[in-house]
Amino acid sequence: MIKQSLWTDNIKVRALHRLNKNIKTDILIIGGGIAGISTAFNLKNSNQQITLVDSYKIGFGVSSKNTGKVTFFQGYYNKIKDIYDNDTALLYLRSQKEAIKIIKNNILNYNIKCHFKGTSSYLFADSEKGIKELEKEEAFFTENNIKITNKKSLPIKFPLIKAISLANTAVFHPVKYILALKEELRKKKNIKLYENTPIIKVKKTANGYIAYTEKYTIETNKIILCCHYPFSIIDGYIPFKTTVEKSFLTASKTSKPKSFSAINMDSSTYSISYFDDEDDYILFLSNSNSLNKNMDNEKKYQDHINLAKEYFDHVNYAWSNHDIITSDYLPFIGALNKNLFIATGFNTWGMTNGVIAGKLLSDLLLNKDNNYINLFNPKRSLNIKVLSYNIKNGLNYINSKLNNSIEPSPKVEIIEYQGEKYGVYTDENKKRHYVKNICPHMKCNLIFNNVEKTWDCACHGSRFDIDGNVIQGPAVDNIK
């Protein structure tokens, strides 16, 4: 079993340089996942100088750790309708369909080889509570004259009581799609791309911003934050409007490929999709929980592996992912002020929401009209129905700051030295690795992840290696 995403294995990628001098640009995009690369792609024919930086390799962050679904059958529409109204839910549905159309057009126009394949999508339930939620979603589609089909089973053997399906959705290879857009951008003289270039600080100026790397600066008129989770706390107050959810995923080879995708409506999330390349795989996601409820990584990881083996006999790849969940099931995409823009909170549907983020952000920057400006406005007023969610987020943040528990392991301990707490990990060579046990982002305590051998923040998902080097944001500073 390979402990990495299926999408990043055996990928030949053209490495790009890291930033090696001070530069000036019109627009700086921070983050080279699906949202960042889509935004740059939509700006490529403008007269603006565009710079995109990624802290690692473009396309190899969170966008490389999903199930490869390109679908609008997501299970959120009745919830959005309940919070707002039917028109808002329909507008969100329209945005997801438009994202799929954009992907299709890019694949056709630029001859992108990313194994895009049309499929049917399923929603299903295996509990009384899940059936009630499924029937509400079914009613939404029926009332809005959207054709769905009742099903008694999935195309594979999997436990359920009720299911519905519809057509015109798809699966694809997300990394190959992103890398194809990257290669198109490399041809443009007004686009500069840099990898292994983390931004550690942003300073506001009279006319824009200065972004700082470890050694160099980028002076820019406008910044677009497409870095999954924003490292800025104040702008938009995103940490208090969202939670971070962790999920576990596997990919298993199959000799009986079935072209479909599915997700359940029960309290325990199961998500399934198929992908065919030289080999055929079934991708499976389970054990999704907010980070403050997901501290025993080893148990949850093993439970997921056991489930995958129970349903699909074996496992070839295994990995985990973080998703940003908003209080009203709509992402935050748009302007925080006249020079600062953001895309985050994709609610597990990063492929479609990342693509529509690229369209919306580029339209805003080019002063074009867009149907989704108000829908996804990151400064939108949240109604009374979601206030309790935000209060709960605040309480979870306080609880995570106070929690200093660690997963049981003879190799890990928390010690106190000169009034500060340190995490200590003893490796296989009996070398002890010391790190301060506080996340530099918002000062939450860190939990040791025995599965991936990292120190993880239970508040917002930052991760550090055993020597305290940051490997996933929103934190930008190492811990020592």
235 or 188, which is more confident: 188
Condensed to tens digits (0 to 9), the pLDDT of residues 14-57 reads: 889 999 999 999 999 999 999 999 999 999 999 999 999 999 99
C-alpha span between 4 and 158 (Å, rounded): 25
Half-sphere exposure of 450 (CA within 13 A, CB side): 18
Condensed to tens digits (0 to 9), the pLDDT of residues 411-457 reads: 787 777 777 777 788 888 888 887 887 787 767 778 787 777 888 87
201: left (phi over 0), alpha (psi -120 to 50) or beta: beta
2: left (phi over 0), alpha (psi -120 to 50) or beta: beta
- pLDDT of 292: 64
C-alpha span between 180 and 320 (Å, rounded): 24
Condensed to tens digits (0 to 9), the pLDDT of residues 107-159 reads: 999 999 999 999 999 999 999 999 999 999 999 999 999 999 999 999 999 99
Kind and range of the H or E run holding 299: helix 297-312
C-alpha span between 462 and 161 (Å, rounded): 38
- pLDDT of 290: 73
Condensed to tens digits (0 to 9), the pLDDT of residues 294-331 reads: 566 778 888 999 999 999 989 999 999 989 999 899 99
- What is the token pair recorded at 25? 């640009």
Given a cut of 70, whether residue 364 has pLDDT beyond it is yes
Given a cut of 80, whether residue 472 has pLDDT beyond it is no
Q: Give pTM, 2 decimals.
A: 0.89
Given a cut of 90, whether residue 394 has pLDDT beyond it is no
C-alpha span between 307 and 327 (Å, rounded): 29
102 or 241, which is more confident: 102
Q: How many Å is the Cα radius of gyration of the chain? A: 22
**Residue 410 binned pLDDT confidence (cut-offs 50, 70, 90):** low
Domain definitions of the chain by residue range = 7-64+176-238+330-386, 115-172+240-326, 403-472
**Residue 231 binned pLDDT confidence (cut-offs 50, 70, 90):** low
**Residue 403 binned pLDDT confidence (cut-offs 50, 70, 90):** low
Condensed to tens digits (0 to 9), the pLDDT of residues 331-362 reads: 999 999 999 999 999 999 999 999 999 999 99
Condensed to tens digits (0 to 9), the pLDDT of residues 71-111 reads: 999 999 999 999 999 999 999 999 999 999 999 999 999 99
- pLDDT of 183: 96
- To the nearest 10 degrees (0 to 180), the angle between helices 34-42 and 174-185 is 30
Q: Candidates 3.30.9.10, 1.10.8.50, 3.30.930.10, 3.40.640.10; correct CATH number of 115-172+240-326?
A: 3.30.9.10
Condensed to tens digits (0 to 9), the pLDDT of residues 242-271 reads: 888 889 999 999 987 788 999 999 988 999
- pLDDT of 415: 75
- pLDDT of 404: 55
Given a cut of 70, whether residue 468 has pLDDT beyond it is yes
403-472 folds as Rieske Iron-sulfur Protein (2.102.10)
Q: Fold identical between 7-64+176-238+330-386 and 115-172+240-326?
A: no
* Domain covering 7-64+176-238+330-386 assigned CATH 3.30.420.10 in the classification: no
**End-to-end Cα distance, the chain:** 33
388 or 234, which is more confident: 388
High-pLDDT (> 90) share of the chain, %: 66
- pLDDT of 293: 62
Backbone angles phi, psi at 381, to 5 degrees: -80, 130
C-alpha span between 119 and 42 (Å, rounded): 27
**Residue 234 binned pLDDT confidence (cut-offs 50, 70, 90):** low
Condensed to tens digits (0 to 9), the pLDDT of residues 172-216 reads: 999 999 999 999 999 999 999 999 999 988 999 999 999 999 999
382 or 39, which is more confident: 39
- pLDDT of 458: 72
